[in-house]
A and B are shown apart, each in its own frame.
Chain A
């Protein structure tokens, strides 16, 4: 399948690793991502004026018109903003999050080259992928399922939807440090995330834990990378 792609600012910058690994995973699963021409920033959570904020994503929907009917938006903030705009506009275009596209059947049919035996992971979803309900993803435990399917052990169920404080990172970093540390302290193993901001917050405040994107794990299982 061919999908429209909205990488958003972070995947073209600091989260370039997520962009690269995600594209590889999609290619392996037989999907093509076509970047929406001339997309603009979604505004993240930086605007107090709701109309102004939704306006950014409405503009992106316009740019995608006639280009694609489905938009893949990996960054949780972009995903939420686009989804809200498309609901408000009543547009037929669907906004998809990669986690909702990785169906269990697809994943279990991966010609796995490796397994996760003897490894321990905390799948961490954070806030925006799971809340509010109207824009939340459907596959709320896909990361757990994949870990167990390939023989790994899961931890951190209780904190998987707690807040890492990423949003306060460049305002009051002590708050982010406190919240991320709570998550790190209450979990064991390597942390598996999808949100670029969670990745940065947890990585910054972890002493020696590995913070991995879920896509890193998929590529490892597919035999595309040698270490995880």
Chain B
């Protein structure tokens, strides 16, 4: 049991580093929960608490895949902007998602295009995520999306 806890703590430190932070950086969190009160996920009628997520990471506790922030954080930076320490919580959530291997088919296709061409090539992204889009009912929006359609060939560039 102790070993598992230790592993989790190490894993959490890796996640914190992935987000560009050090564990100590979170020790300044005042627990004021301003982040929780402004979080956009509240507007989805889901209770969230970014502060709890940070303290779980800090204390070496496991964060599950179905944590509402892991699932629904919109990268709106409202929490960061309200936080006295300007902690970039959405970036921590992104690191967590990466560590947990969470990616929608669309996100996978998006990154796939970048690794092939160095740029996002939308026709490819749509093709590669077609089953997801069909299943999830995106096709109904096609009439509204006509103005977004453009045709060009992919441009290949070095990714970095």
List the interface of chain A (C-beta within 8 A of B). 9-10, 12-17, 38-41, 43-51, 55-56, 58-59, 127-128, 131-133, 162-163, 165-168, 170-173, 175, 178-179, 182, 200, 203-204
Q: Which listed residue, A132, A175, A178, touches B88 by the CB 8 Å rule?
A: A132
Determine if A49 and B95 form an interchain contact, defined as CB atoms under 8 angstroms apart.
yes
B12 lies within 8 A of chain A by Cβ: no
Q: How far is the CA of A40 from the CA of B77 in the complex (A)?
A: 25
Given contacts A131-B81, A168-B74, contact A14 B122 (CB under 8 A): yes
Q: Is the CB of B98 within 8 A of A43?
A: no
Closest to A164 in B: B74
Question: A40-B119, A175-B72 known; A132 and B44 CB under 8 Å?
Answer: no
Cα A15 to Cα B43 with chains together (Å): 28
Minimal Cβ-Cβ distance residue in A for B137: A173
B66 at the interface (CB under 8 A from A): no
- B107/A41 in contact, CB under 8 A: no
Please state if A170 and B104 are interface contacts (CB–CB under 8 Å): yes
Give the shortest distance, in Å, between A159 (CB) and chain B (any CB). 11
CB neighbours (8 Å) of B147 from chain A are: 17
What is the bound-complex CA distance between A185 and B160, given in angstroms?
42
Q: Point out the residues of chain A lying under 8 angstroms from B84, CB to CB.
A: none
Q: What are the residues of chain A within 8 A of B40 when measuring CB–CB? A: 162-163, 165, 179
* A153, B2: Cα distance in complex, Å: 64
Which of the four size classes fits the interface of chain B? 35 or more
Residues of B within 8 A of A44 (CB): 110, 120
Partner of B72, one of A49, A133, A172: A172
Please encode chain B, from 17 to 60, with 1 for each CB lying within 8 Å of some chain A CB and 0 for all others: 01110000000000000000000100110000000000000000
User: Looking at the complex, which one of A16, A38, A55, A167 makes contact with B74 (CB distance below 8 Å)?
Assistant: A167
Assess the A179–B94 pair: CB atoms within 8 A.
no
Complex Cα spacing A154 to B29, Å: 39
A179 near B18 with CB under 8 A, answer no
Is B80's CB under 8 angstroms from A132's CB?
Answer: yes
Contact B74 A163 (CB under 8 A): yes
Known: A172-B72, A175-B72. Contact between A13 and B120, CB under 8 A?
A: yes
In the complex, which of the residues B99, B106, B150 contacts A48, with contact meaning CB atoms closer than 8 Å?
Answer: B99
What is the CB-to-nearest-CB distance from B146 to chain A, in angstroms, rounded to a whole number?
Answer: 11
Contact of B80 among A131, A162, A172 (CB under 8 A): A131
